Structure 1
Amino acid sequence: MTTQRTVLTVSLAPLIGSRFQPAGFPDLGAAEFDTPAGRNLLVESTQSIANHLESTTWDDARADQVEDLTGLPYVRIVNPEGQFLSSSRLEAHRLASAYVMNGTVDGVKGETWLLDRLGLRAGLPLDHRAVAKACFALDPLSLLHGVFFARKGWPWQPRIARAVTGFIEATGVRPAVSGGVKRDTVVNEAKDGATAEGYGTVPHHRVEYTADQITAFFAVDHAQLRAYGLSEPATALLTALIDYEIGTLLRGGLRLRTACDLRVVEAAEGQLPDPTEAARRIGKLIPDCGNDLGGVTTVTWAKGKK
């Protein structure tokens, strides 16, 4: 029987001390929720974990993908002077980024260039496999973490869901309330708008949490990977990339925020992916993918121009 899902469950703990700071959401703060087992907390959301996974493929110091992934395509966004701005690995909407759509590729507007690459035509059905093949050639990671081409002027608006989903929850949580003071040795009184301008000594409160258990969950949808209709080496490459991202993230340390630095306590035997082994597989599979993979695409984006 073919496996449809792979689920990875990893126990975590604070790297130092017992407190941690969860993700905060606008107009909500920390996302607490109740289950029959007690009070729980969303430490890191699905969207945030996707960003952390993608960050394992990018080297900020080099402004390029990590050396382990040399040979993989992605979209590189630069200004008219050729200075690096962003990439499909860093953009929230990946290949559907506004910088791609409103930029140019060899003098062609990005939106027009991408529409042609995806093969979308009015009066013809949406070919999901053709879209997946085009995305794979531009940046395979878009098939792992999802992309939505919400373009009103297009005949179709293709959407690719996440093939790998992750989040972190904590159970048996209790708030750890503390505080501090922002000191000002020159202007002690915070009045007449001084605080808004950054002056004055101002006390503040802080809410962190302790927990009985912190757990990271990952699920890989192998059925979705196969549904892309890619070649066997291409599908294997996607699986190796998932192992690389998860293994690098967990083994390299989960420093999610200043006050949320987590370590792996326990994972089921054989479950924790080895990023070194995954990198070896990626290196062997890239040549096997042949013409399925394109090169690095450069998009030029100029501020104020559409």
Structure 2
Amino acid sequence: MISLDQPRLRYTAHLRPALGSTFQPTSFPDVGAARFSRAGGGDSLLVESVQSMANRLEATTWDRAERKPVTLVEALPYVRVHRGSNPEEYLTSSRQEAHRLASAFVRDSALDGQPMLEVIRDRLGLVKDTPLDYPRMARAILGLDPFCLLHGVFFSHRSWLGQPRFTRAISAVIEAHDVREVISGGRKADHVRHQLVEGEGGTSEGYGSIPFHRVEWTAGDITAMFVVDVDLLRSYGLGAGTTELLALLALWEIRTLLARGLRLRTACDLEVTEHPKDLPEQAELEARIGELVTAESIGMEPITVLWKG
């Protein structure tokens, strides 16, 4: 039996490079690798940010090759965006867009001729001079795309009165501790043009042999940490069964992500050396999720909207 008695469920997995000893952490423009010192001392690195891990967890639910949800969650609603000038042409969905239901592609589409700005406004019950009703809004989101309740959505457009925001119920991050730099380099070789001549194209056009350097890292420990906020999900008043379903979907995402391995970048391929304690097995999660989808009558066909383009 899967217990959800805790207000927050916390899990930790220990990782190591799948090839060699080095890895490439996430990098930010004008900053580079996010290096920091913990209060207890020692150099550490942010290997994968909270926002990036949210994207990777969400991706476990989507079949990129088939452009549809994976079998386990295909019965749950979501918004598919097709091109208005060619209704058979699939463009994107609320499961793929960074802002989910608040995406510009969803917002600027129409459902049966009605603008989605109005559809979402009316379903959320956004009325002038009226407090935001989060349980009502959560029920509406449940019928549009329940994964927005797990990964968050911010209805920031001025037409959506009150600009309601649903924060993430699942968060994750990967950090490396006791880190050391690994300096290396290479050379981009040009086997055709051996000599650069002014006016005939140089390195800025991609010609010539160009040496380069790179910085990778080693670490004493690489740790992935996950938190599922069960209390936040309960606060939406969706009932015990639906709350359990959402929490178990979050646990399934964690289990699936770790089972697949974490190939974060070309030079950052990580494997699990120690799985989280108390995290239910995938088969157990899938069996219970299937029961709850049926019992809670949440399943429905995708909602297809037409984008103005």
TM-score, normalising length from structure 1? 0.94
Are the structure 2 counterparts of residues 189 and 113 from structure 1 closer, same or farther at C-alpha, using a change threshold of 3 Å? farther
CA distance in 2, matches of 1:268, 1:79: 43
Are the structure 2 counterparts of residues 194 and 107 from structure 1 closer, same or farther at C-alpha, using a change threshold of 3 Å? farther
Residue of structure 1 equivalent to 2:260? 252
Q: Secondary structure at the match of 2:136?
A: helix
Are the structure 2 counterparts of residues 201 and 132 from structure 1 closer, same or farther at C-alpha, using a change threshold of 3 Å? same
Match runs of 1:284-295 below 5 Å: 284-290=291-297, 292=298, 294-295=300-301
Match runs of 1:144-163 below 5 Å: 144-163=150-169
Q: 2:205 aligns with which of 197, 207, 210?
A: 197
Q: Secondary structure at the match of 2:203?
A: coil
Q: Does the CA contact (< 8 Å) of 1:95 and 1:142 recur in 2?
A: yes
1:262 aligns with 2:270: yes
Are the structure 2 counterparts of residues 188 and 111 from structure 1 closer, same or farther at C-alpha, using a change threshold of 3 Å? farther
CA distance in 2, matches of 1:77, 1:16: 39
CA distance in 1, matches of 2:237, 2:194: 66
CA distance in 1, matches of 2:129, 2:123: 17
Q: What are the superposed Cα offsets for residues 192-245 of structure 1, whole Å, 9 maximum, x if unpaired?
A: 663232222211111110000000000111110100110221111101101110
Residue of structure 1 equivalent to 2:175? 169
1:240 aligns with 2:248: yes
Q: Does the CA contact (< 8 Å) of 2:75 and 2:300 recur in 1?
A: no
Q: State the shift of 1:287 in Å.
A: 1.5
Are the structure 2 counterparts of residues 189 and 218 from structure 1 closer, same or farther at C-alpha, using a change threshold of 3 Å? farther
Across the aligned residues of Structure 1 and Structure 2, the Cα RMSD in angstroms comes to 1.6
Q: 1:279 aligns with which of 276, 280, 286?
A: 286
Report the AA paired with residue 207 of structure 2.
Y
Q: What are the superposed Cα offsets for residues 93-127 of structure 1, whole Å, 9 maximum, x if unpaired?
A: 01100000111111111211111121111121110
Unaligned runs of 5+ in 1: none
Q: Does the CA contact (< 8 Å) of 2:138 and 2:149 recur in 1?
A: yes
Question: How many residue pairs get matched?
Answer: 301
Q: 1:231 aligns with which of 216, 227, 239?
A: 239
CA distance in 2, matches of 1:17, 1:240: 35
1:97 aligns with 2:103: yes
TM-score, normalising length from structure 2? 0.93
Q: Secondary structure at the match of 2:246?
A: helix
Residue of structure 2 equivalent to 1:12? 15
Residue of structure 2 equivalent to 1:39? 43
Report the AA paired with residue 55 of structure 1.
A
Q: What are the superposed Cα offsets for residues 119-143 of structure 1, whole Å, 9 maximum, x if unpaired?
A: 1111211101111111111111100
Match runs of 1:17-96 below 5 Å: 17-35=20-38, 36-80=40-84, 81=86, 82-96=88-102
CA distance in 2, matches of 1:262, 1:284: 33
Q: Does the CA contact (< 8 Å) of 1:138 and 1:293 recur in 2?
A: no
Q: State the shift of 1:67 in Å.
A: 1.0
Residue of structure 2 equivalent to 1:219? 227
Report the AA paired with residue 240 of structure 1.
L
Unaligned runs of 5+ in 2: none
Are the structure 2 counterparts of residues 234 and 214 from structure 1 closer, same or farther at C-alpha, using a change threshold of 3 Å? same
Report the AA paired with residue 33 of structure 1.
F
Q: State the shift of 1:270 in Å.
A: 2.8
Q: Secondary structure at the match of 1:228?
A: coil
Q: What are the superposed Cα offsets for residues 149-183 of structure 1, whole Å, 9 maximum, x if unpaired?
A: 10113321000111011000000001111111112
CA distance in 2, matches of 1:125, 1:294: 30
